[in-house]
Structure 1
Amino acid sequence: MAVESLITSFVSSPDLSVLVLLGVLLLTALRQVGSLRLQIWQVMTLGALSVLLLGEISPQEALRAINMDVLLFLFGAFCVGEALNRSGYLAWLGSRIVSRAKNTGQLVLLVIFSTGLLSAVLMNDTLAIMGTPLVLRFSRKYGVSPKLMLFALAFGITTGSVMSPIGNPQNLLIAIDGNLDSPFVTFLRSLALPTLINLALAYAVLRLFFSREFGKTALVHSEEVISDPELAEISKKSLFLLLALITCKILLVEFLPARDFSLSWIALLSASPILLSKRRTEVVKNIDWTTLIFFVSMFVLMESVWMSGTCQELLGRMSPHLGSVPMILVLSMGLSQLISNVPFVALYLPAMGSEVSQGQLMALAAGSTIAGNLFILGAASNVIILQNAEKDGETFSFMEFARIGALISFLDAIIYFIFLLPF
């Protein structure tokens, strides 16, 4: 009844920010206005400009809404990813990972599980940045559908990031604000097995939707050559720094959370060998600036929706039921599409009250993360993959993603429900 009354009140007196967001979701699904083909960053920028012009958010509030920590993290990660890709070192590393794949099925399985497991350590956005050019290279090299490879990457890194407190920003927020004594042990013990099952299910669903691709002939491997040895040496230093700093962060989150440092520092320090080299201009010039514009616009629009209070009103009316695992999973997956998963988690944690169980926190981590498997806008990593793919001449539509993602999300939710209900 609470949901029905809220929907009724919204229909009778709709909030402009929410209407703009719904328009953005519709345009993201269509991506076409007459003969004009829109890119996803243009749609989000149009939404941000709309709420500014409508007075739903002031310019000062819009500036405060921009999360510089996220932008700096993405900038640094983009620099490292661009240098690795431009030098050929990323392709060389990737070819070694998939060299044992004998057919398309094994290739897709390797992409899903390798990127899924790595996203638990390197964070899903980092894997999205580095993985997109790599899987598109696999697509061209082995004659495999680029959409299949992009979906394997997207669903792999979103699902895999569930089982670690540093797999994505919302998990880190849960680990810190949820006062978990041993976050890595807690996440792995509660979420590792169901996440591995869900990675296997993602493979099964992709095999169902792309059955023709899996009947192709055996893969023919060839050694990748590093095209730019000078830039490759710089890239290797950046990659080593990235791994070393992430190792430090894991240890600090686990044992000395008070000494923890921001993810943006990891990305910027990792990019420092590139930014201090003579090759910095060509690298910086070619990073994905449109994705950074997308994030600036998204912060403004989501802040406007947040300020409208629509989601807060929904949670307030449903407060007696917020602690059940099914409700946490459903609301996490649904509302993360509206205000993004990090703001949703920030809002939901205090709404759950002071007595929060480990199972409830893990359900919140799982639900808010697998929300990214439902729609493109459900995870920042999806947007990064799509933007980078379009930069390389490939794309996928909102509906193509959603029809596969809806089934994967449904199966994910069932598996996490089964494993988390006893807690």
Structure 2
Amino acid sequence: MNDSAHARTDWRAELRAEWLLLLFAAVTIALALLDPQPLAKYRHWLQLPTLAGLMGLLIAIQGIRDSGLVQHAAVAVVAKAHSLRSLGLLLVTATALLSMVLTNDVSLFLIVPLTLAIGSMSNLPVLRMVVLEALAVNAGSTLSPIGNPQNLLLWQHSSLPFLHFAAAMLPAAAVMFALVAAFTLLWLPRDRVALTPDRIDGRVASNRLGAWSMVALAGMVLLMEYHQAPLGATLLLGLFALLARSSLARIDWPLLLTFAAIFLGLGHFAELPLMRDALDRLDFSQPLTLYASGIVASQLISNVPATVLLLDRAPDPIALAVAVNVGGFGVAIGSLANLIALRLAKQPHGLRRLHLVSIPFLLVCAPMVYLAWRWLG
């Protein structure tokens, strides 16, 4: 194959890999042509602070990966695990706990690279583990008012004390995590952890890069907490451009474009008159109606836009919080954390495997969570 033909093949392969970006770009353009809106609307839908936060996290985590700290941590974790099931349960539990305090997307940025590093030196089934971690962040972040964007929004809207909100979400979160933990034990093989000695390299390539990348990550999370994500992303971009330009080159920039297209497309879709007319026909004072609507809306437009759409219609913010958190399971678009996990992992057939697990998981989880919430909430 000559160079030009090889270049065309590579170009087509890269284009196919970005099918989600192309799909939502097409949806965004089609909606803009069919239902033109003022420029201010598009700026609102674009969610620039969220995109800035995502960019800052991508930069900091890339520095940590390039430093060798992830590989070093992977060796330490593997050394403490004897079976694949115990290793999987350790990773799932860590993912859920981190998502309570660092939010669901930040915990995935930490855990998925660690999982990939462990998989490179052992017989851990990486794709299965990443799917389980995507389930675990949905479960763990459900408990905390700051665990995910929809909880943060509903916590502030409800004006409930932090611990009261968490207590109200506890029955739902407990059922979700118990199901994830049980599925982890059932799905992972019984085998012992088998290491590949020639692939074990726990050396830290650059302590300096690792140290200030960790500081950058902590600073980025702190600035996101105080709604200063654009400032943090700008500072990190400048810092890495000066000190670690090669790390910037390895960042998954198309992921940012994909999320921008998703935000624009879903934001516009959620405000279509057809969508609002359908909601006007529903009685949200009925708990089951609100619960089912939150789940269905999450499957169609993702759980954060679904929360915004239903916020002023829902008489009970906790009921809505339970619904949209459950709605994070199911189709990949239900929670953007699912897409982040798959994108970080870059495993073949990842989307298909996620759906084969997550959709049945939703069908089992939804009625159990509803019963637990109604009886114990």
Tell me which interval the TM-score lies in, with the shorter structure as reference length. Answer: 0.7 to 0.9
Offset from partner CA, 1:160-188 (integer Å, 9 cap, x none): 110111111111110111222x12x0232
Provide the C-alpha distance between the structure 1 equivalents of 2:288 and 2:369, rounded to a whole number of angstroms.
Answer: 10
Candidates 289, 300, 303, aligned match of 1:338: 300
Provide the C-alpha distance between the structure 2 equivalents of 1:413 and 1:103, rounded to a whole number of angstroms.
Answer: 31
Match of 1:297 in 2: 261
Q: 1:187 to 1:102 in 2, by over 3 A?
A: farther
Match of 1:362 in 2: 318
Q: 286-295 or 187-196: which moved more?
A: 187-196
Secondary structure, aligned partner of 1:116? helix
> 1:329·1:364 contact (CA, 8 Å) conserved in 2?
yes
Match of 1:414 in 2: 367
Provide the C-alpha distance between the structure 2 equivalents of 1:242 and 1:93, rounded to a whole number of angstroms.
Answer: 21
Match of 1:10 in 2: none
Task: Give the superposition deviation at 1:262.
Answer: 1.3
AA partner of residue 386 (structure 1): L
Provide the C-alpha distance between the structure 2 equivalents of 1:305 and 1:270, rounded to a whole number of angstroms.
Answer: 28
Number of residue-to-residue matches in the alignment: 359
Task: Give the superposition deviation at 1:297.
Answer: 0.8
Match of 1:326 in 2: 288
Provide the C-alpha distance between the structure 2 equivalents of 1:389 and 1:227, rounded to a whole number of angstroms.
Answer: 22
CA RMSD of aligned residues (A): 2.8
Q: 1:274 to 1:295 in 2, by over 3 A?
A: closer
Candidates 356, 361, 373, aligned match of 2:329: 373
Match of 2:206 in 1: 228
Secondary structure, aligned partner of 2:257? helix
Residue 262 (structure 1) aligned with residue 240 (structure 2): no
Secondary structure, aligned partner of 2:312? helix
AA partner of residue 405 (structure 1): S
**Sequence identity percentage:** 21
Match of 1:308 in 2: 272
> 1:77·1:271 contact (CA, 8 Å) conserved in 2?
no
Q: 1:317 to 1:274 in 2, by over 3 A?
A: closer
Secondary structure, aligned partner of 1:284? helix
Alignment of 1:25-104 (within 5 A): 39-52=19-32, 54-58=33-37, 60=39, 61-104=41-84
Provide the C-alpha distance between the structure 1 equivalents of 2:345 and 2:357, rounded to a whole number of angstroms.
Answer: 18
AA partner of residue 276 (structure 1): L
Offset from partner CA, 1:167-219 (integer Å, 9 cap, x none): 11111110111222x12x023212235423422311323444x4xx5132334
AA partner of residue 56 (structure 1): D
Provide the C-alpha distance between the structure 1 equivalents of 2:78 and 2:177, rounded to a whole number of angstroms.
Answer: 17
Match of 1:8 in 2: none
Secondary structure, aligned partner of 2:328? helix
Residue 217 (structure 1) aligned with residue 195 (structure 2): no
Offset from partner CA, 1:3-32 (integer Å, 9 cap, x none): xxxxxxxxxxxxxxxxxxxxxxxxxxxxx9
Offset from partner CA, 1:377-404 (integer Å, 9 cap, x none): 11111111222222xxx23344422221
Task: Give the superposition deviation at 1:343.
Answer: 2.2
Match of 1:126 in 2: 106
> 1:234·1:274 contact (CA, 8 Å) conserved in 2?
no
Candidates 250, 265, 281, aligned match of 2:245: 281
Task: Give the superposition deviation at 1:290.
Answer: 1.0
AA partner of residue 406 (structure 1): I
Provide the C-alpha distance between the structure 2 equivalents of 1:224 and 1:196, rounded to a whole number of angstroms.
Answer: 35
Provide the C-alpha distance between the structure 2 equivalents of 1:202 and 1:291, rounded to a whole number of angstroms.
Answer: 27
Residue 400 (structure 1) aligned with residue 375 (structure 2): no
Match of 1:154 in 2: 134
Provide the C-alpha distance between the structure 1 equivalents of 2:307 and 2:29, rounded to a whole number of angstroms.
Answer: 26
> 2:71·2:201 contact (CA, 8 Å) conserved in 1?
no
Match of 1:187 in 2: 165
AA partner of residue 338 (structure 1): L
Q: 1:135 to 1:125 in 2, by over 3 A?
A: same
Task: Give the superposition deviation at 1:131.
Answer: 2.5
Task: Give the superposition deviation at 1:337.
Answer: 2.1
Task: Give the superposition deviation at 1:71.
Answer: 0.8
Match of 1:351 in 2: 313
Secondary structure, aligned partner of 2:327? helix
Task: Give the superposition deviation at 1:133.
Answer: 2.0
Provide the C-alpha distance between the structure 2 equivalents of 1:144 and 1:310, rounded to a whole number of angstroms.
Answer: 47
AA partner of residue 155 (structure 2): A
> 1:201·1:411 contact (CA, 8 Å) conserved in 2?
no
Provide the C-alpha distance between the structure 1 equivalents of 2:191 and 2:234, rounded to a whole number of angstroms.
Answer: 40
Task: Give the superposition deviation at 1:240.
Answer: 4.2
AA partner of residue 178 (structure 1): S
Secondary structure, aligned partner of 1:350? coil
Provide the C-alpha distance between the structure 1 equivalents of 2:76 and 2:318, rounded to a whole number of angstroms.
Answer: 35
> 2:27·2:265 contact (CA, 8 Å) conserved in 1?
yes
TM-score (structure 1 length as normaliser): 0.76
> 2:93·2:136 contact (CA, 8 Å) conserved in 1?
yes
Q: 1:219 to 1:36 in 2, by over 3 A?
A: closer
Task: Give the superposition deviation at 1:371.
Answer: 1.6
Task: Give the superposition deviation at 1:226.
Answer: 1.1
Provide the C-alpha distance between the structure 1 equivalents of 2:253 and 2:275, rounded to a whole number of angstroms.
Answer: 31
Offset from partner CA, 1:22-61 (integer Å, 9 cap, x none): xxxxxxxxxx99x966532232223223333x33334724
Q: 1:165 to 1:263 in 2, by over 3 A?
A: farther
Provide the C-alpha distance between the structure 2 equivalents of 1:135 and 1:317, rounded to a whole number of angstroms.
Answer: 46
Residue 140 (structure 1) aligned with residue 114 (structure 2): no
> 2:150·2:321 contact (CA, 8 Å) conserved in 1?
yes
Q: 1:332 to 1:94 in 2, by over 3 A?
A: farther
Provide the C-alpha distance between the structure 2 equivalents of 1:336 and 1:378, rounded to a whole number of angstroms.
Answer: 5
Secondary structure, aligned partner of 1:421? helix
AA partner of residue 327 (structure 1): T
Match of 1:317 in 2: 281
> 1:306·1:339 contact (CA, 8 Å) conserved in 2?
yes
> 2:73·2:114 contact (CA, 8 Å) conserved in 1?
no
